[in-house]
Structure 1
Amino acid sequence: MMLRRHLWALALLPLVACAGQREAPVAAQPSRQSVLDAALRQQVESGKVAGISAVVVRADGEVLYQGAQGPRVPGAAEPIGPDSLFRLASMTKPVTSVAVMTLVEDGRLRLEDPLAKHLPEFRDLRIRETNGRLVPARQPTIRDLLRHMGGFSYNFLNVPGIVEAYAREGVDDGLAAPGRSTRDNMRRLARAPLQAQPGTLWAYSLATDVLGAVVERVSGKPLDAYIQERIAGPLRLTSFAFHVPESERARMVTAMHPVDGALRPIRSGERIPYPLSRGTWVSDPERAFSRTAYPSGGAGATATIGDYARFTRMLLNGGELDGVRILRAETVAAMTRGQTGGLPVNLRGPGYDFGYGFSVVTDPAAAKTRQPAGTYGWGGIYGTGFFIDPVNRLAIIVMTQTATNGGPAANEVREAFYGTMVQ
């Protein structure tokens, strides 16, 4: 299914010639297209990523940049194109967060609801103290889960005392275990301790998978069916899926990771290093095609870059796109401003806060970025990233399928784009 033609129509800023001194004419500045094409090409030629695609789009659909470099399958002739499918990994989280907020707007869910109200298996949560003692925890709320303050973690974050408990219980990070059900993974997670009292620590985690389970219990529908009904269908995100049909395999970009200085395909069940925590994560690229894998609200979806661009445009337009309203404008505003009370957001660093499903730039200088304050977004472990800039009314989406290296690549392409903006 090809994307609508107008999405890919290039609408680049005109080439502006610099005024030079008479005796030494100055060459025209490179066009945005050439600058960003070079930035993508450098990522591939340097060996950081196997392939990369990027789109910059305004809220009204005007495309400021679209380009790709590298093949869909390493060693093959077919390039990454607008119809290529990417494993979104944690770029699934904002979609699930929007699904949660539709239920809040419908009055079927409250931000202050305790988790156990909807998932009783979490009623006896405990905290592991520094001395190893387990003590009762207060109930995390839906608000806590949306802002990653519920006390949960991930295996790959390698938190002492927690990673061992997750391994013992067989908790899946939403990236493997193709035969696991949502209910089974939630039961395993509920038996493991929390790393902190809910509401006291920002800690990236399986909280959005838990929210996906909440959506299922409250709506009475599987998460993928609910998202199709309330978000993907109305927005015409025709590629968005948690279970990719085998007939669409030829569109999927190969998942890669660096090994001994070279990139190679990820094997199912392979344990991949996560340098930030000195931990590892278990990847199964085939999970995307499994009919039995639970729809991980935190990591399980796939889509084309163009369909994800439509999702970002809905947010840029205050919850509405092409006459279809998904959320109220005030709901989007609440989701995309800081909600932690100023707690450190350690995966982003200084200059960031976190809202309901998104990191938010609060201090561009501290964050060492050209993004204006108020820009929000997130990324995924397979090397995807997006950045929504409400000041300039645009969104930047960058997708690779190169684990670990892809995140920094997205940041570098983003900064290259801001370098082309007229000051």
Structure 2
Amino acid sequence: MKLPEAITALVTGPMGMGDTAFSVADTRRLVVHYGDASPRPRRLTGDGNPVRLSPGRIFNAGAFPSGGAGMAGPTGDVIRLLESLRTGQSPVLDAPTTRSMFDIQARTGGLAAGAGWEFGFGGAVLVEPETAGTPQSRGTLQWDGAYGHKWFIDPVRGLTVVALTNTAFEGMNGRFPVDLRDAIYRSL
């Protein structure tokens, strides 16, 4: 079974994530992608960037289905998946496997997402909030993507947060996701 078919059969189908896939046929469904530049972001065209990005590949159903950088889906689908992990009510994973997503699987001294973070099966797991300089709780799971998204699950505070932007790399690891995170925790 090829990766797109496996993901549909094993994850997005059972989760009811009908708008999440490795390609998008209707170009009107996506926004223009931008990359960091000064004094303002610039439109990404797929060339001339310090990191090779190809925003147009999502419209090519024949492109290699990259599990790490090749899917698109709406916020609702992403939240549905992440909430199933936070609540332990996943239709695709049993409870022990879901819990293991939040367990440290590899200690790398901060390579996962900086100081205070280590790798879990589901992304980066926060082990030392003070070292990381974050208000998030120990055990928070997070990940991000180069095209400008960031998400985290704080099971202690009952939070699932998803930010989907169209700016690489600001939306992933710039001021915006930090300011958003901090504003959320200040409001609690």
Alignment TM class, shorter chain as reference: over 0.9
Residue type at the aligned position of 2:101: M
Aligned counterpart, 2:11: 231
Is residue 2:59 matched to residue 1:289? yes
Aligned counterpart, 2:177: 410
Larger radius of gyration: 1
1:393, distance to aligned residue in structure 2 (A): 2.0
| TM-score under structure 1 length normalisation | 0.43
Aligned counterpart, 2:28: 250
Instruction: Report SS of the residue matched to 1:386.
Output: strand
Is residue 2:95 matched to residue 1:350? no
Within the candidate set 234, 252, 272, 2:49 is matched to 272
Distance in 2 of aligned mates of 1:393 and 1:263: 34
Equivalent residue runs for 1:291-370 within 5 Å: 291-320=61-90, 325-340=91-106, 342-346=107-111, 348-370=113-135
Provide structure 2 residue ranges, at least 5 long, that are not aligned to the other structure.
none
Residue type at the aligned position of 1:357: G
**Conserved 8 A contact 1:242-1:300:** yes
Within the candidate set 137, 141, 151, 1:372 is matched to 137
Instruction: Report SS of the residue matched to 1:233.
Output: helix
Residue type at the aligned position of 1:299: A
Moved beyond 4 Å, runs of 4+: none
Distance in 2 of aligned mates of 1:377 and 1:260: 28
1:347, distance to aligned residue in structure 2 (A): 5.1
CA RMSD in angstroms, aligned pairs only: 1.3
Q: Once the two structures are aligned, what percentage of the paired residues are identical?
A: 32
1:357, distance to aligned residue in structure 2 (A): 3.4
Provide structure 1 residue ranges, at least 5 long, that are not aligned to the other structure.
1-220, 274-280
Aligned counterpart, 1:92: none
Aligned counterpart, 1:30: none
Alignment size in residue pairs:
186
Distance in 1 of aligned mates of 2:118 and 2:148: 21
**Conserved 8 A contact 1:383-1:410:** no
Residue type at the aligned position of 2:115: P
1:386, distance to aligned residue in structure 2 (A): 0.4
Instruction: Report SS of the residue matched to 2:81.
Output: helix
